[in-house]
């Protein structure tokens, strides 16, 4: 039985890099994006791979429903929730429609697509869900000078980390693997679309992000941080999270009395 991967945000950047790598690994592909010509160019350049192109806007309920329907009815082996948008600007200046777009693309779409895919994966006894987040997910405690203008974006990436960790634990023993990938700055069109020129900043390649993700799956990593050399730092964060979670009490903390 052939392997089938569905990749959102596949018209460029990390999503396209996933499509390239998975095509080379023998997957059939469903590639999702808003730019039809980009998707068709990819399909035309990979004649040896079965590629289905789906034009869908995951910032809209209709777009989410379209792709969720595919996830629910097709034998998806691997779901890569990669579609992204950022809208960097001060929170008070963020238009309501842009805030809604961001939450729909980075929170609602991964949630609903994963939900749609899981039932079939459970019936088939296995599958993989990869959620593409970013190291900004861990940047909440940073001072203003380091983390301005990313309130909703940072919150959405942190959601993907918590969702992936919790879902991974929930699905333990089912044969379904869940991973969240948290790259730093990557050399894609992403920041250019925000009007930011990062051409002089050292950036990881999208191909390296994919390499880390797939190798991380082999290593059993739920949280994959491609640019973090000392994985003990991540372990320390998660142990601190669990320590704080486990330290709660029904009694009011002394400092509040």
The pLDDT score that the predictor gives to residue 1 is: 61
> Over 70: is that where the pLDDT of 198 sits?
no
Q: What is the pLDDT of residues 148-191, one digit of tens each?
A: 678 999 999 999 999 999 999 999 999 999 999 999 988 766 65
Residue 123: pLDDT over 70: yes
pTM summary value: 0.93
Instruction: Name the average pLDDT for the chain.
Output: 93
Of 112, 110, 84, 98, the C-alpha closest to 9 is: 84
From the number of C-beta atoms within 10 Å of its C-beta (0-12, 13-18, 19+), residue 235 rates as exposed
Q: Which two tokens stand for residue 120?
A: 């079939």
Please compute the mean of the pLDDT values over residues 126-150 and round it to a whole number.
89
Spatial contact of 187 and 205, defined as CB atoms under 8 Å apart: yes
> What SS3 state is found at 196?
coil
Backbone angles phi and psi of 80, in degrees to 5: -115, 105
Q: In which band, very low, low, confident or very high, does the pLDDT at 199 lie, cut at 50, 70 and 90?
A: low
144 pLDDT higher than 90:
no
User: What is the helix (H) or strand (E) element at residue 88, kind and residue range?
Assistant: none
């Amino acid at each position: 039985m052939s392997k089938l991967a569905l990749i959102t945000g596949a018209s460029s950047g990390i999503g396209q890099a996933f499509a390239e790598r998975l095509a080379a690994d023998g997957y059939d592909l469903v590639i999702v994006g808003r730019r039809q010509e980009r998707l068709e160019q990819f399909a035309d350049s990979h004649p040896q791979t079965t590629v289905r192109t789906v034009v869908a806007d995951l910032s809209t309920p209709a777009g989410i429903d379209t792709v969720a329907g595919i996830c629910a009815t097709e034998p998806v082996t691997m779901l890569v929730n990669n579609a992204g948008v950022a809208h960097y600007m001060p929170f008070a200046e963020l238009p309501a429609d842009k805030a809604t777009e961001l939450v729909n693309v980075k929170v609602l779409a991964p949630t609903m697509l994963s939900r749609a895919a899981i039932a079939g994966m459970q019936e088939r006894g296995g599958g993989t869900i990869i959620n593409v987040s970013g190291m900004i997910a861990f940047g909440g405690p940073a001072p203003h000078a380091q983390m301005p203008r990313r309130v909703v974006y940072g919150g959405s990436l942190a959601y993907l980390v918590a969702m992936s960790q919790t879902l991974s634990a929930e699905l333990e023993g089912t044969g379904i693997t869940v991973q969240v990938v948290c790259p730093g700055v990557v050399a894609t069109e992403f920041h250019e679309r925000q009007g930011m020129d990062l051409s002089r900043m050292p950036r990881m390649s999208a191909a390296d992000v994919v390499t880390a993700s797939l190798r991380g799956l082999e290593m059993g990593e739920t949280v994959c941080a491609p640019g973090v050399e000392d994985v003990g730092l991540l372990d320390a964060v998660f142990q601190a999270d669990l320590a704080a979670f486990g330290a709660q009490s029904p009694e009011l903390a002394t400092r509040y009395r």
